[in-house]
Structure 1
Amino acid sequence: MNQVKHAPAQGISDATKALHASLFIADLHADSLLWHRDLLIRSDYGQVDFPRMQEGNVALQMFTTVTKSPAGLNYHENSAHSRDNITLLALIQGWPMNTWGSLTARALHQSDRLHKFAERAPDTVRIIKNQADLAALQADRAAATKTKPMGAILGTEGSHALDGELANIERLYQAGFRMMSLQHFFDNQLGGSLHGVSHAGLTEFGRAAVQEMTRLGIMIDVAHSSEQVVRDVLALNTQALIVSHTGIYSHCPNERNIPDTLMQSIAAKGGLIGIGFWRGAVCDDSPKGVANAIQAAVNLVGEDAVALGSDYDGSVTTGFDSSQLLELTQALVDLGMSESTIAKVMGGNQARFFAKHLPSL
C-alpha cells in the first residue's frame, strides 16, 4: 500500500550532491508508525525507515499517528460511520486489546513504538519535544563527522484520537505529541472534514480543543479539514497553522487541495504549507513533478511558507522514497531555484517554524 515507482536517477551533479549534504531536511508528514515494521532496519518496501532517512540526509521527520480510516475512502465524501480499516489492522498486527475500541489508545500505542525505537538507538533517533531538543539536534548534526542523529516529532492524523475528551489533549501532550491535525477523511467531534459529509465548521468542542492545544503549545494542522474549519481556526487567531501534506489547487485542481486564497491566508499569518509527494496532491509524483508543485507553492505563498509534506507510508504511491531525496534537490536546481530557497523549502522553514512554536521546555 506504500509503493515506490522509482525511475533510475540521471544527471545528479557534484554541486547538487554538495548542496544536498549541507541541507537540514525536514518532512511534515509520514504515517510509518502505523505499520508493523522495525524502522531501525532498512526495508525494501514502504517509504520511510531510519536507515533510509540517513541515506537521504533527513534531519527531522514528523511521524503522524493514524487512528481511524473509513473503508472505501476517497476525496469526495466519506461517512464517519463507515467500517474502520484501522480496527482490522490493529487486530491483524496484534496491537494491545485497549486499542481495539479506543482511538486515544491507538495514538498512544504508536507513540510508544517511536519511544522504543529511540530507546534502542539513542545515538540515532531523538524525539523532539521542545526548542532545546531541536537546538541540540541542529548543533549535533552540524558537529557530526560520520553518522548524524535524526529527530522525530509526534503528531496525530485527526483529533478523533481524543475519543471526545478534552483531557486527552494533555494526555497525548505528555506522551510527546507536539502537533495535532483536526480532521482526517471524515467529519468528527471537532468539525467537518474536507472529504466528509457536512462540510461544517468548528463545533463548540472543536473550539475548546483548539484553545487547549494552543494553551499547551501543540501545533495545529488543518490538512484534511473542511474549508469552513480552516476559516474558523484562522478567525480564532490563536497561532500560525500547518497544512502538513497537500498540493496547490491552481497547480493541481482536485478535491484534495483547498482553495489558493485559504492557502494565502494561512501563509499570511505565518503558517507552513507542506507539499506532498503523491499524485493526488501534486498531479505528478516524479521528482520533477514534486519540484514543480513546490515552485507553484513558492509562487503562490512565498518561499518562507513552503515545506515538504510527503505523506510517506500513508497508503500512497510515490516516485521516490526517503533515501532518494537528492533527486528532489536536483529537480529544484534544474528549475533554476536558488540555493537559499531550496534550503528553506527542504527544511529551513520547518526548523524555523518549530524553533518558534515548539514549547520552550
Structure 2
Amino acid sequence: MKKLLFALGVITAIYFVATLLVPTYIEEKRNPVKSLPPYEVSPEAQEIYDRLDFISDLHCDALLWGRDLTERSTVGSVDFPRMREANIALEMFTIVSKSPAGQNMQSNSEDAFDNITPLTIAKGETPNQWFSLINRTLGQAENLHDFIEEEDGKVIFVDDLASFKELLEARKADKTVTGAMLGIEGAHALEGSLENLEKVYEAGIRMIGPTHFFDNELGGSAHGENGAGLTDFGKSVIRRMNELNIFIDLAHCSPAIVDDVLTMTTKPVMVSHIGVRAVLDSQRNLTDEQIQRIAANGGIIGVAFFDMAVGDPEIDGIIATMKHIRDLVGVEYIALGSDYDGAVAVPFDITGLPIIVEGLLKEGFTETEIKAIMGENVKRFFLENLN
C-alpha cells in the first residue's frame, strides 16, 4: 500500500509540474510573435493612435492556452495588462473547443485526432472537460469570468446593450478600464444540441461561428470535406441565435453556409477574422460578392493579421485588405480581427497596433477612416445591434 501511495504521489507531482510547464511550452511554439515589443512608429501615427477613443479587436483565442489573463505575459499576444497598454476598449475572446490534427486551410476531417484534448488535460482542467466539447466551452467561459472578477471592476464583461454602455461610460472617467466579450469558434461545441445553445447564452456568449476547420452538425466548413450548406439542425441553430441575439460569425464557413445564413438571418452578421480573395486567393477568404452581401446585411468584417489570410508581409496585406473593402463597399464595414493567440504567427502583439495606423496613413487613409477601422465601427455596430 505504501508503494502504491508513493507511486500515486509521484504521478500527481509529475502531473502538477506538467500543468505548469507544458501549456506554456506549447503556446510558445504555436503563437509566435515575429517582432517583439516595444514598437516604434512615426510621431504622426502615434499621435493619431493616442487620440483614438475606442479601439477594438474581434478575435482572440487567449483563453485556450490556460494563461492567467490578469498577468502580463511574455508568451502570446493578449492579456489584460497589454490591453491596457494598447488602450483597448473591447476584446472579443473566442473559445476553441476542438482542433484537428494536421489542421490546414484546404481539407480537414471531422474524425481527425483532436489536438485540444491533450492540451485540456495538460492544463489541469477538470476531468469533465477532457472529452466534452460543451464542458470545455463552458469552462473557458467561466475562466474569463473568473479573470474579470479578479480585476475588481477594471474589466467589464459585455453581453448586452446595458453592459456595453456601462463600458463606454466607465472609460470616460478611466481609460484603464477595458471590456471583454465571449464568442465560440465552431458550433460543434454545441454537440448537436439546441439545449446547449441555451447554456452558452447563459454563460454570456454572444457570437458563434457555425463551423471552424471541419464539417459538423450545422454544415460544411471552408476547410472541410463536403462544402455543404446549413443542415436542418444548422438552420434551427441560426433561427434560435437570431431570437437570442447571438451574432453569427461567418469566418470559417463554407460558401454555401455563407449564402444560406445571409439568405435567412434577420440580424446583421459578423466575420470576426478573415481576408479577401482579391488580395490573397484562399478558400477561407471572402469574394467580392460575399463582401457586398455582408455590407448589404449591415454586417462587419474583421481583418485578420496572419499570412494565410492576408499574405506575406502581413502588414502590407492587412492594409491592402482594408483598402479593398473600403473601395468596394465603404470603410464603415471594416474592423480589426487579429486572430491573436490563435495558433498563427503574427507580426506584432496587441501593443503593436499603432503599426496599423501608420500603414493606413501611408496608404492615404484619413484620420476619420482610421478611427472607424480601429474601433468606431465596432462601437456603432454594438450600439445598434446589442439589446
TM-score w.r.t. the length of structure 1 is 0.95
Q: CA-to-partner distance for each residue in 1:232-285, whole Å, 9 max, x for gaps?
A: 011103211111100011011122213221121111110111100000100035
Q: Does structure 1 residue 190 correspond to structure 2 residue 190?
A: no
- Which is greater in Rg? 2
Pick from 258, 282, 290 the counterpart of residue 318 of structure 2. 290
**2:129 alignment partner in structure 1:** 99
Shift of 1:299: 1.8
Root-mean-square deviation over aligned CA pairs: 1.5
Q: CA-to-partner distance for each residue in 1:140-177, whole Å, 9 max, x for gaps?
A: 21222xx5211000000010111111011111111110
> Could you tell me how far apart the structure 1 residues matched to 2:276 and 2:168 are?
30
**Relative to total residues, which structure has the larger helix share, 1 or 2?**
2
1:7–1:98 distance in 2 versus 1, CA, 3 Å = closer
> Could you tell me how far apart the structure 2 residues matched to 1:316 and 1:170 are?
31
> Could you tell me how far apart the structure 2 residues matched to 1:255 and 1:129 are?
32
> Any gaps of 5 or more consecutive residues in structure 2?
1-29
Question: After TM superposition, what 4+ stretches of structure 1 lie above 6 angstroms from structure 2?
Answer: 7-11
Q: Does structure 1 residue 22 correspond to structure 2 residue 51?
A: yes
1:102–1:9 distance in 2 versus 1, CA, 3 Å = closer
SS at match of 1:296: helix
**1:123 alignment partner in structure 2:** 153
Pick from 39, 44, 62 the counterpart of residue 69 of structure 2. 39
Shift of 1:10: 7.8
**1:225 alignment partner in structure 2:** 253
1:194–1:132 distance in 2 versus 1, CA, 3 Å = same
Please tell me whether the aligned partners of residues 69 and 147 of structure 2 are also in contact (alpha carbons under 8 angstroms). yes
Shift of 1:16: 2.4
* Equivalenced residues, count: 357
**2:100 alignment partner in structure 1:** 70
> Could you tell me how far apart the structure 2 residues matched to 1:77 and 1:329 are?
35
Pick from 182, 196, 201 the counterpart of residue 229 of structure 2. 201
Shift of 1:8: 7.6
Please tell me whether the aligned partners of residues 287 and 320 of structure 1 are also in contact (alpha carbons under 8 angstroms). no
> Could you tell me how far apart the structure 1 residues matched to 2:316 and 2:215 are?
34
SS at match of 1:43: coil
Please tell me whether the aligned partners of residues 285 and 318 of structure 1 are also in contact (alpha carbons under 8 angstroms). no
Q: CA-to-partner distance for each residue in 1:81-113, whole Å, 9 max, x for gaps?
A: 000011111111111111122111111000011
Please tell me whether the aligned partners of residues 279 and 317 of structure 2 are also in contact (alpha carbons under 8 angstroms). no
Q: CA-to-partner distance for each residue in 1:309-332, whole Å, 9 max, x for gaps?
A: 000000000101101111111111
1:14–1:90 distance in 2 versus 1, CA, 3 Å = same
SS at match of 2:73: coil
Please tell me whether the aligned partners of residues 248 and 270 of structure 2 are also in contact (alpha carbons under 8 angstroms). yes
> Could you tell me how far apart the structure 2 residues matched to 1:258 and 1:329 are?
23
SS at match of 2:289: helix
> Could you tell me how far apart the structure 1 residues matched to 2:154 and 2:305 are?
25
**Letter in structure 1 aligned against 2:181:** I
**1:248 alignment partner in structure 2:** 276
> Could you tell me how far apart the structure 1 residues matched to 2:165 and 2:349 are?
27
Q: Does structure 1 residue 49 correspond to structure 2 residue 66?
A: no
SS at match of 2:241: helix
> Any gaps of 5 or more consecutive residues in structure 1?
none
SS at match of 2:89: strand
> Could you tell me how far apart the structure 2 residues matched to 1:198 and 1:245 are?
22
> Could you tell me how far apart the structure 2 residues matched to 1:91 and 1:301 are?
45
**Letter in structure 1 aligned against 2:33:** V
Please tell me whether the aligned partners of residues 257 and 281 of structure 1 are also in contact (alpha carbons under 8 angstroms). yes
> Could you tell me how far apart the structure 2 residues matched to 1:170 and 1:226 are?
25
- Which deviates more, 219-228 or 258-267? 258-267
> Could you tell me how far apart the structure 2 residues matched to 1:321 and 1:10 are?
10
**2:32 alignment partner in structure 1:** 3
Shift of 1:14: 3.1
1:8–1:67 distance in 2 versus 1, CA, 3 Å = closer
Q: Does structure 1 residue 257 correspond to structure 2 residue 304?
A: no
Please tell me whether the aligned partners of residues 242 and 265 of structure 2 are also in contact (alpha carbons under 8 angstroms). no
TM-score w.r.t. the length of structure 2 is 0.89
Shift of 1:7: 7.1
Q: CA-to-partner distance for each residue in 1:318-359, whole Å, 9 max, x for gaps?
A: 101101111111111121101111111111111111112222
**1:137 alignment partner in structure 2:** 167
**Letter in structure 2 aligned against 1:350:** V
Pick from 171, 180, 184 the counterpart of residue 208 of structure 2. 180
SS at match of 1:42: coil
SS at match of 1:108: helix
Pick from 156, 165, 172 the counterpart of residue 193 of structure 2. 165
> Could you tell me how far apart the structure 2 residues matched to 1:10 and 1:31 are?
22
Q: Does structure 1 residue 345 correspond to structure 2 residue 373?
A: yes
**Letter in structure 2 aligned against 1:275:** V
